A and B are shown apart, each in its own frame.
Chain A
Amino acid sequence: MLKRIRITLAVVFITLITLLFLDFTGTAQQWFGWMAKIQFLPALLALNVVVVVCLLILTLLFGRIYCSVICPLGVMQDIFGWMGKRAKKHRYSYSPAKQWLRYGMLVLMVAVMIAGFGGIAALIAPYSSFGRIVQNLLGPVWAWGNNMLAGWAAEHDRYMFYETDIWVRSWTVFAIAAGTLAILAVLAWRNGRTYCNTICPVGTVLGFVSRFSFLAPVIDTSKCNSCGLCSRNCKAACINSKEHRIDYSRCVTCFDCIGSCHKGAISYARRTSAATVAGKQTEVVDSSRRGFIAVAGVMTAAAVAKAEDKTVDGGLAVIVDKKVPERRTPIVPPGAVSMRNLTNHCTACQLCVAACPNGVLRPSTDAASFMQPRSSYERGYCRPECTRCSDVCPSGAIKPITIEEKSSIQIGHACWIKDNCIPIVDGVSCGNCARHCPTGAIQMVPSDPDDENSVKIPVVNDEKCIGCGACENLCPARPFSAIYVEGLRNHRII
């Protein structure tokens, strides 16, 4: 019964959280956005005391229920573990805790985060790992399915579904997500919750608390015949059936042992001051994932494409893809407040990246801010009516802002590159940047101050420019725009 409740809740959580990362329409976010916000690490980084305290109390009362129900990465591993168990029954066995590894990882993580390398910490954080896997691996499949429906709807002149772009934001992060999934799948298939009890920092922290939990599985030694079935079915490898001891710091309260015992010797009950096993240290193979960090791709520069010759009757000019300009200061979305705030709070879960409807956000590949969101405007720009990333962020890295606030937050400023500017290169009038500037920061002025009729070029009023990238995105110069945005380390209000 307990197990059934656990599984039901777990399925609900993992399904809806997965949906958060997939649903690009933002509908799921409106209803289930809170599910991301109650994740431990994001809540901690958002300094969301209420959630953190509640989670700790929950663990103190019931053990690491969090790991079995709320944490999507944990539930995902259970799915692989379940498949593993179908392949071979009773496949687990007890092993002592690998304390030095657990605490080592925790200390490392805290140290790295304090040092300001949140991106590296994010490599081992559970919720963000899950987000990356869904966004990178499942996202394209979902979008593809949607596009099939959209195609069908278009044929029938319906407007319920609309097509969405399918693109990989960063191949590095894609590789990391794929690698994480592969390792977790193998570990979970063979040994259950190895990751949760050796690497996961959240698991370690909650383990401190669950050691003293009010309710827990307890072995009634009078009924136990030491058959060891419980131990061989424990995915956390925490039941020492020979000594009738359970390591509650590692137990994820899955209730599997209760069902596995033929004698009814295990029950979920108030704990007597029975033993908690402090594991002995043994040799361990460290499955480091740093090896998966690939190197960013190299860009090849190309000359600015010339506009196509004019013939008549049909045909479409070839449009060259825009390339990412080299920005001295990266751009982070409005609501991030500053580069520092983002770096300190971001868990790199990719929720904002998945939610961005304009193709602006993608994970960074810099070491210091690894996998944290960065803005770039080749595919779209930060549209004035959109606050999606600030709505979804669970960790306070991108703080909630309103649409009204957004148009007054300066996240960067536009810079003009004369050599790319179409009026100068092609000698035709343009002004597309000025026409689309939402704050009216760009004016078109004659290029020759003495000649009113000379071609007009854009001039930017830095005080008014908010760095939304409309100009950069809509600039006809390709592959490099004639106007591009430099980020601001600290956002300003104008």
Chain B
Amino acid sequence: MKNKINRRDFLKRMGVGAAAVSAAAITGCDSKNNPVTGNQTASGEIPMGEMTYRTNPKTGEKVSILGYGCMRWPDLSGGVGRSDADLDQETINELVDYALEHGVNYFDTSPAYCRGRSEEATGIALARHPRDSYFIATKLSNFAPQTWSREASLQMYHDSFKKLQTPYIDYMLLHSVGGGEDAMDTFRKRYIDNGILDFLLEEREKGKIRNLGFSYHGDIAIFDNLLANHDKYKWDFVQIQMNYLDWNHAKEINPSNTNAEYLYDELDKREIPVVIMEPLLGGRLSDLPDHVVARLKQKEPERSVASWAFRFAGTYPRVLTVLSGMTYMEHLQDNLLSYSPLKPLSDEEKQFLFDTSSLIVQYPTVPCNDCKYCMPCPYGIDIPAILTHYNKCVNQGNIPETSQAPNYREARQAFLVGYDRSVPKLRQASHCIGCNQCIVHCPQNIAIPVELHRIDRFVEQLKQNTL
């Protein structure tokens, strides 16, 4: 009977909710500002021609501080383009047009993104504009052992030109160095033993590659090694993960990671331009616990939570561009607002963010940024979906510690029902066999099977009411 009453209540509330919405719509007409775009309402229009630019010291070209990350293009199913649904080319074109119009000129893709479809889609959208109005960044993403050979790697390299419809690449990266079980060994096999790095250096000489760099995650030995050889390789830029959480908490979150402060300082010392990835940790820095949101909002009530993360990344002068994988127009508009122009953080504001990050690390979320490099799991598990659901419940306070917790019933229902909704049963953590094949692919060095088994035990405790 309890359930029944709940349902009735539910319907009642639904009615009230609907009434409230229509009421808001009516009063909305009377207020001075017409709310059109949600978050940015009070600030009004997205300005044009106000974008902040940074100068590439080698070429003197001006790069927009907001770079378009092409890893999360929208698909026709309404989600982020990694499902089976085709990419939504029409929407991608709109996003690219809008971005260019508002001053974004750096587009970062990879042969691996969107299950191998990003380069082509990005190429189609960009080819509709003059080639000198934007910069293309792509990568040599030869992660899989079957692409380590010289032939396979060259194939991947040449395909990028075709798919992106361009005679030259503005920014070429060795993709995600520092990963693999033995990072040094993996790096050697991917770029040294097959002569690919030498080949890329030659291509730079020929002008096919205008800037050569690498993106880095994981083992610090590689980072140090590549920088130590800067005289030999002359890196034109380096791409690192940097945000106010990783600035000095990266080690705390995962001992095998390195604080962004160290990475940035090393590059700054050598005057190497820095490209920032994961400024928002795959959205984790906008989806925060309520009281953290309140804290950030209180200081800038009219700006989004995400804007803090973008301002933080842009504040550092050696930063060339800050990448954001913007799936939706609203994300693009919000980021444009943060950077048109960039209002650098004051020292007091920086300290405020560092204090905020100390609050955030107290929440035991799994540091998954939903990049999906671990996918597909050979046994069908949807790893990022499980971890994302878990993190959501952590932030919403739906991970009860005991069955005596005051919100236990609601939390249990929210966790279990939400779990079945976010992850099909056959792709849930209970099916993880612990083969460990995913671990080497995780840029965040998450011990994925350990986390999945832990979550599965928690699910069992909830289901059996034995917490």
- Of B115, B379, B413, B436, the contact of A314 (CB 8 Å cutoff): B115
Contact with A along B119-142 (1 / 0, CB 8 A): 000000000000000000000010
Nearest first, the 7 closest Cβ-Cβ pairs linking A and B are A314-B82, A428-B435, A307-B378, A430-B433, A319-B380, A313-B112, A315-B376
Contact with B along A356-387 (1 / 0, CB 8 A): 00000000000000000000000010011100
Chain B residues with CB under 8 Å of A312's CB are 112, 141, 143-144, 372-375, 441
Chain B residues with CB under 8 Å of A25's CB are 3
Chain B residues with CB under 8 Å of A383's CB are 463-464
List 24 A–B pairs whose Cβ atoms lie within 8 Å, in order of A's numbering. Answer: A27-B1, A27-B3, A162-B420, A163-B421, A310-B437, A310-B441, A311-B112, A312-B372, A314-B372, A314-B375, A315-B115, A315-B375, A317-B377, A317-B378, A319-B380, A319-B427, A380-B425, A383-B463, A431-B433, A432-B430, A435-B434, A435-B453, A476-B379, A476-B433
| Bound-state Cα–Cα, A385 to B413, Å | 16
* 7 further A-B pairs in the complex, CB-CB below 8 A; given A311-B376, A313-B71, A474-B431: A162-B421, A314-B82, A315-B82, A315-B375, A428-B436, A432-B432, A435-B453
Chain B residues with CB under 8 Å of A318's CB are 380
Of chain A, the residue at the smallest CB distance from B449 is: A429
Minimum C-beta distance from A347 to chain B (A) = 28
Considering only residues 360-418 of chain B, those with a C-beta below 8 Å from chain A are 371-380, 382, 410, 413-414, 417-418
Q: Does any Cβ of B come within 8 Å of A422's Cβ?
A: yes
Instruction: Tell me whether B113 and A313 are in contact (CB under 8 A).
Output: yes
Q: Does any Cβ of A come within 8 Å of B251's Cβ?
A: no
Q: Which residues of B contact A (CB under 8 A)?
A: 1-4, 6-7, 10, 71, 82, 110, 112-116, 141, 143-144, 371-380, 382, 410, 413-414, 417-418, 420-421, 425-427, 430-437, 441, 453, 463-465
| Bound-state Cα–Cα, A474 to B433, Å | 9
Q: Does any Cβ of B come within 8 Å of A436's Cβ?
A: yes
Q: Does any Cβ of B come within 8 Å of A167's Cβ?
A: no
Chain B residues with CB under 8 Å of A30's CB are 1
Contact with B along A433-456 (1 / 0, CB 8 A): 001100000000000000000000
- Of B1, B6, B413, B426, the contact of A31 (CB 8 Å cutoff): B1
Minimum C-beta distance from B277 to chain A (A) = 14
Minimum C-beta distance from B191 to chain A (A) = 17
Chain B residues with CB under 8 Å of A162's CB are 417, 420-421
| Bound-state Cα–Cα, A314 to B118, Å | 12
| Bound-state Cα–Cα, A158 to B14, Å | 10
For A, the interface residue count at a CB cutoff of 8 angstroms equals 40
Instruction: Tell me whether B378 and A308 are in contact (CB under 8 A).
Output: yes
| Bound-state Cα–Cα, A432 to B2, Å | 37
* A317 touching B464 in the complex, CB below 8 Å, given contacts A429-B434, A432-B433, A436-B430: no
- Of A150, A161, A313, the contact of B375 (CB 8 Å cutoff): A313
* A428 touching B375 in the complex, CB below 8 Å, given contacts A27-B1, A159-B413, A159-B418: no
Instruction: Tell me whether B464 and A384 are in contact (CB under 8 A).
Output: yes
Chain A residues with CB under 8 Å of B441's CB are 310, 312
Minimum C-beta distance from A271 to chain B (A) = 42
Q: Which residues of A contact B (CB under 8 A)?
A: 25, 27, 30-31, 150, 154, 158-163, 307-319, 380, 383-385, 422, 426, 428-432, 435-436, 474, 476
Of chain A, the residue at the smallest CB distance from B112 is: A313
- Of B382, B431, B453, the contact of A316 (CB 8 Å cutoff): B382
Chain A residues with CB under 8 Å of B426's CB are 319
Most buried by A among B3, B82, B433: B433
Chain B residues with CB under 8 Å of A314's CB are 82, 114-115, 372, 375-376
Chain A residues with CB under 8 Å of B432's CB are 432
Chain B residues with CB under 8 Å of A474's CB are 430-431
Of chain A, the residue at the smallest CB distance from B371 is: A313
* A317 touching B417 in the complex, CB below 8 Å, given contacts A384-B464, A429-B436: no
Chain B residues with CB under 8 Å of A309's CB are 378
* A432 touching B375 in the complex, CB below 8 Å, given contacts A25-B3, A158-B10, A384-B464: no
Chain A residues with CB under 8 Å of B413's CB are 159
Instruction: Tell me whether B427 and A316 are in contact (CB under 8 A).
Output: yes
Minimum C-beta distance from A473 to chain B (A) = 9
* A430 touching B435 in the complex, CB below 8 Å, given contacts A313-B375, A319-B427: yes
| Bound-state Cα–Cα, A207 to B107, Å | 84
Minimum C-beta distance from B20 to chain A (A) = 13
- Of B114, B380, B414, B420, the contact of A163 (CB 8 Å cutoff): B420
Instruction: Tell me whether B82 and A160 are in contact (CB under 8 A).
Output: no
Chain A residues with CB under 8 Å of B372's CB are 312-314
Of chain A, the residue at the smallest CB distance from B82 is: A314
Of chain B, the residue at the smallest CB distance from A379 is: B425
| Bound-state Cα–Cα, A27 to B5, Å | 11
Minimum C-beta distance from A404 to chain B (A) = 12
| Bound-state Cα–Cα, A319 to B424, Å | 11
Instruction: Tell me whether B375 and A316 are in contact (CB under 8 A).
Output: yes
| Bound-state Cα–Cα, A317 to B376, Å | 6
Minimum C-beta distance from A490 to chain B (A) = 27
Chain A residues with CB under 8 Å of B425's CB are 380
Chain A residues with CB under 8 Å of B2's CB are 27
| Bound-state Cα–Cα, A430 to B426, Å | 16
Instruction: Tell me whether A160 and B112 are in contact (CB under 8 A).
Output: no
Instruction: Tell me whether B376 and A422 are in contact (CB under 8 A).
Output: no
Minimum C-beta distance from B129 to chain A (A) = 26
Chain A residues with CB under 8 Å of B82's CB are 313-315
- Of A159, A385, A436, the contact of B417 (CB 8 Å cutoff): A159
* A310 touching B114 in the complex, CB below 8 Å, given contacts A163-B420, A432-B432: no
Of chain B, the residue at the smallest CB distance from A432 is: B433
Instruction: Tell me whether B144 and A310 are in contact (CB under 8 A).
Output: yes
Chain A residues with CB under 8 Å of B110's CB are 313
Minimum C-beta distance from B140 to chain A (A) = 13
| Bound-state Cα–Cα, A313 to B370, Å | 10
Of chain B, the residue at the smallest CB distance from A149 is: B7
| Bound-state Cα–Cα, A30 to B3, Å | 11
Chain A residues with CB under 8 Å of B373's CB are 312-313
| Bound-state Cα–Cα, A162 to B418, Å | 9
Chain B residues with CB under 8 Å of A431's CB are 433-434
| Bound-state Cα–Cα, A311 to B431, Å | 20
Instruction: Tell me whether A422 and B433 are in contact (CB under 8 A).
Output: yes
Chain A residues with CB under 8 Å of B421's CB are 150, 154, 162-163
Chain B residues with CB under 8 Å of A385's CB are 463-465
Minimum C-beta distance from A29 to chain B (A) = 11
Instruction: Tell me whether A317 and B380 are in contact (CB under 8 A).
Output: yes
Instruction: Tell me whether A160 and B465 are in contact (CB under 8 A).
Output: no
| Bound-state Cα–Cα, A27 to B377, Å | 38
Most buried by A among B376, B382, B425, B441: B376
Chain B residues with CB under 8 Å of A308's CB are 376, 378, 380
Of chain A, the residue at the smallest CB distance from B143 is: A312
Minimum C-beta distance from B160 to chain A (A) = 15
| Bound-state Cα–Cα, A158 to B418, Å | 9
Instruction: Tell me whether A160 and B7 are in contact (CB under 8 A).
Output: yes
| Bound-state Cα–Cα, A430 to B3, Å | 40
Chain A residues with CB under 8 Å of B379's CB are 307, 317, 476
